[in-house]
């Protein structure tokens, strides 16, 4: 691990506790997720345009963390933008990425307090952050209880995709909160983390977080996951969600649907773990979920190296949709929805 770097617009990262996103002296501090694990850097965001850029380049990412970023973004906009430009600034934040419903939902929730003044806006944004912290703890407990019951007391070998840990929320996260809770209970035998092409959230962020928590884990390439499941290498697949439609269809990092197909083939339950704030009753089913296309540049290379011939056309959906029928259960901070028994959220 290299020491924290200090560059223009950034400050060195505090050590413990590591909170992904914090309001500090009228600014937003974000752990920069584009440079982990090589560097531990906190970005200090003082302008709405910088927040929008940070969201688009995935310096802050993961559905719950995006919700908190949207919430604090409204407070930042109110403090820094001329009144006539406030609506446009808020719209730029809420639409910076389209798939995770938390971003637009929490931006709208805090924007509704603008008529009540800056103190009310900031209090609402702090409430969003606090609720996500509590939700992560509750998802971890509820999810670990479910997994332990599924396995009848055996130690757990989990498989997971993308990054759903504290970096994707504020602390602990969603699916990785379940892994962390199982580890704290002494019940985690292994966690297989998919590297998650093309931006490698699994290799860069999940492997880092699992190492930080001292949890047993192995990193695997995405294409090895179906085979490993077929050979019985995992007892449960744990995934997060960016948006859960009213019928339970779930958008999550691209590759989740492939995992669901493989899990179904292997008879391994897929459990989705997400806060209530990720359930979108206004979206009837998966077909209606907007899927972000991040363009060809991220596909034509690996890390900072170019691999494909220049100008190779590529498709780059950042998310896919897993039908509710392929999900064993959806665990939220408030309940367990047994999708495998036809329940809907």
* Choice between 138 and 242, CB closer to ligand MRU: 242
Residue 73 lies near ligand MRU (rule: CB under 6 A)? no
* C-alpha–C-alpha distance, residues 186 and 77, integer Å: 45
Residue among 67, 98, 166, 240 that touches ligand MRU (CB under 6 A): 240
What is the per-residue DSSP string for 122-187?
A: HHHHHHHHHHHHHHHHHHHHHHHHHHHHHTTT--EEEEE-S--SGGGSSSS-SHHHHHHHHHHTT-
* Choice between 131 and 242, CB closer to ligand MRU: 242
Catalytic positions are 242
What is the per-residue DSSP string for 212-256?
A: HTT--EEEE-GGGHHHHHHTT--SEEEE--SEEETTS-EEEETTH
Residue 235 lies near ligand MRU (rule: CB under 6 A)? no
Residue among 241, 271, 326, 337 that touches ligand MRU (CB under 6 A): 241
Pairing outcome for strands 217-220 and 188-194: parallel
Q: Which of 42-50, 105-113, 161-169, 223-231 is the region at the interface with ligand MRU (rule: CB under 6 A)?
A: 161-169
What distances in angstroms separate CA 24 from CA 80, 184, 248, one per listed residue?
15, 31, 37
Residue 318 lies near ligand MRU (rule: CB under 6 A)? yes
Residue 164 lies near ligand MRU (rule: CB under 6 A)? yes
Extract the tokens encoding 187. Answer: 């019940």
* Residue facing ligand MRU at closest CB distance: 240
Sheet holding 10-12, edge to edge: 10-12, 41-45, 27-31, 21-24
Q: Cβ of 298: how many Cβ atoms within 10 Å?
A: 15
Pairing outcome for strands 250-253 and 319-322: antiparallel
* C-alpha–C-alpha distance, residues 85 and 134, integer Å: 34
Residue 162 lies near ligand MRU (rule: CB under 6 A)? yes
Structure-token match 């989705």, residue found: 272
Residue 63 lies near ligand MRU (rule: CB under 6 A)? yes
* Choice between 113 and 253, CB closer to ligand MRU: 253
Residue 166 lies near ligand MRU (rule: CB under 6 A)? no
* Choice between 78 and 168, CB closer to ligand MRU: 168
* Minimum distance from residue 34 beta carbon to ligand MRU (Å): 11
Residue among 142, 157, 253, 328 that touches ligand MRU (CB under 6 A): 253
* Minimum distance from residue 197 beta carbon to ligand MRU (Å): 12
Residue 242 lies near ligand MRU (rule: CB under 6 A)? yes
Residue among 174, 180, 277, 283 that touches ligand MRU (CB under 6 A): 174
Residue among 21, 52, 64, 73 that touches ligand MRU (CB under 6 A): 64
* Choice between 27 and 252, CB closer to ligand MRU: 252
Exposed e or buried b per residue across 62-90, where buried means at least 16 C-beta atoms within 10 angstroms of its C-beta? bbbbbbbbbbbbbbbbbebbeeeebeebb
# residues near ligand MRU by CB under 6 A: 19
Query: Where along the sequence are the contacts to ligand MRU (CB under 6 A)?
Result: 58, 61-64, 100, 162, 164, 168-169, 173-174, 201, 240-242, 252-253, 318
């Amino acid at each position: 691990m290299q020491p924290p770097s200090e560059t223009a617009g950034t400050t060195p990262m505090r050590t413990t506790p590591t909170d992904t996103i914090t309001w500090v002296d009228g600014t937003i501090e974000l752990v920069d997720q584009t440079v982990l694990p090589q560097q531990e850097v906190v970005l200090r965001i003082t302008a709405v345009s910088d927040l929008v850029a940070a969201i688009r380049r995935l310096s802050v990412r993961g559905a719950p963390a995006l919700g908190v970023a949207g919430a604090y973004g409204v407070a930042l906009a109110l403090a820094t933008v001329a009144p006539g430009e406030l609506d446009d600034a808020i719209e730029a934040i809420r639409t910076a990425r389209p798939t995770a419903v938390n971003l637009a939902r929490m931006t709208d929730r805090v924007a509704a307090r603008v008529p009540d003044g800056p103190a009310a806006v900031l209090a609402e944004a702090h409430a969003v952050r606090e609720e996500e912290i509590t939700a992560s703890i509750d998802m971890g407990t509820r999810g670990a209880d479910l997994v332990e019951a599924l396995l009848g007391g055996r130690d757990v070998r989990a498989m997971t995709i993308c990054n759903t840990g504290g970096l994707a929320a504020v602390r602990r996260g969603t699916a990785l909160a379940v892994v962390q809770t199982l580890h704290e209970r002494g019940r985690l035998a292994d966690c297989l983390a998919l590297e998650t092409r093309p931006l490698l959230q699994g290799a860069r962020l999940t492997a880092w977080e699992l190492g930080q928590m001292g949890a047993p884990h192995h990193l695997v390439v995405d294409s090895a996951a179906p085979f490993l499941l077929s050979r019985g290498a995992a007892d449960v697949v744990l995934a997060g969600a960016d948006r859960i439609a009213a019928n339970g269809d779930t958008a999550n990092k691209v590759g989740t649907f492939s995992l669901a197909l493989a899990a179904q083939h292997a008879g391994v339950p897929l459990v989705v773990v997400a806060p209530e704030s990720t359930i979108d009753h206004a979206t009837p089913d998966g077909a209606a979920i907007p899927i972000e296309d991040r363009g060809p540049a991220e596909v034509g290379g690996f890390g900072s190296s170019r691999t494909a011939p220049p100008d190779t056309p590529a498709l780059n959906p950042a998310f896919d949709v897993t039908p509710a029928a392929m999900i064993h259960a959806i665990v939220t901070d408030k309940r367990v929805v047994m999708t495998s028994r036809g329940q809907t959220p």
